[in-house]
């Protein structure tokens, strides 16, 4: 299984921790290393990483990491990293011809989420998004999280400003290559190059579905508050025996 990781953004709200957001250390280990290790434990075997801002730091770091861990990591450069994240996904079109996993470089997660997600039957013209249906999850930043409205597993709408929603987007996707066509449609026809816009296109075709992660851990490390939450959560998991929000994520 190939895994595409988006690591192109500027991440200005964590600039005080590191110049490059993917390299921000959480308990001494860079975010992107934790994400890759969780993906590996979840079943991913090859990696494509889209870098942009500070890519000259990210790519050599990942080369060393790959060599040390015996991993295959292919680099994709997005020179339009200032624009919406769907363009980073589109940069990988020629590299991914079969179903793949799509992850964010700043989203920590329990590897079991991924292993269970890829067990779900995937429409060859659609995608499955791992969602959190816990409306009271204290690790979720309600001011920033992408929200999802679905019925019986079918996505109806997705976006940060939804007033009517029943799940949160964890940033963990199982995709067919049809996502690339959907992103082109959303960009060219609707003027929206975001990943959520591409998901909405597939949802409109009845091709976008959800998988509920139930009680498992995930966390978007996007600012100083979520950074502290991540350190506390991972620290408690290391100390045991009580995991935060579900089973223990990878601690590399």
Rounding to the nearest 10 degrees, give the CA dihedral for residues 39, 44, 45, 51. -60
pLDDT digit string (tens) for the chain, length 252 residues: 999 999 999 877 786 676 799 999 999 999 999 999 999 999 999 999 999 999 999 999 999 999 999 999 999 999 999 999 999 999 999 999 999 999 999 999 999 999 999 999 999 999 999 999 999 999 999 999 999 999 999 999 999 989 999 999 999 999 999 999 999 999 999 999 999 999 999 999 999 999 999 999 999 999 999 999 999 999 998 887 544 444 444 443
Rounded CA gap, 99 and 4, in Å?
A: 11
Q: To 5 degrees, how large is the angle CA 140–CA 40–CA 229?
A: 25
Tokens 């994240």 belong to 85
CATH C-level class of 2-239: alpha beta
The values of phi and psi at residue 86, to 5°, are -60, -30
Tokens for 174, please give them. Answer: 């199982």
CB 235 within 8 A of CB 219: no
pLDDT of residue 241: 58
Burial of 122 (0-12, 13-18, 19+ CB in 10 A): middle
pLDDT of residue 221: 96
Stated pTM of the model: 0.93
């Amino acid at each position: 299984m190939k895994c595409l990781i988006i690591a192109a953004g500027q991440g200005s709200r964590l600039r005080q921790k590191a110049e490059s957001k993917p390299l921000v250390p959480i308990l001494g280990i860079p975010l992107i290393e934790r994400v890759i290790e969780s993906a590996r434990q979840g079943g991913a075997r090859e990696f494509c990483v889209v870098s942009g801002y500070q890519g000259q730091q990210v790519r050599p770091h990942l080369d060393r990491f790959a060599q040390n861990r015996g991993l295959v990591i292919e680099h994709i450069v997005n020179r339009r990293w200032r624009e919406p994240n769907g363009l980073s996904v589109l940069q990988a079109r020629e590299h991914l011809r079969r179903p793949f996993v799509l992850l964010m470089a700043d989203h920590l997660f329990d590897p079991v989420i991924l292993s269970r997600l890829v067990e779900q039957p995937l429409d060859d013209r659609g995608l499955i998004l791992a969602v959190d249906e816990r409306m009271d999850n204290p690790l979720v930043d309600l001011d920033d999280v992408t929200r999802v409205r679905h019925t019986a597993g079918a996505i109806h709408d997705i976006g940060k400003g939804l007033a009517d929603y029943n799940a949160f987007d964890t940033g963990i996707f199982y995709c067919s290559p049809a996502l690339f066509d959907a992103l082109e449609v959303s960009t060219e026809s609707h003027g929206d190059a975001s990943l959520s816009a591409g998901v909405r296109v597939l949802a409109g075709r009845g091709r976008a579905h959800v998988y509920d992660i139930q009680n498992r851990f995930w966390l978007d490390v996007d600012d100083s508050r979520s950074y502290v939450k991540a350190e506390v959560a991972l620290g408690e998991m290391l100390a045991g025996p009580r995991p935060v929000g579900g089973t223990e994520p990878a601690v590399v």
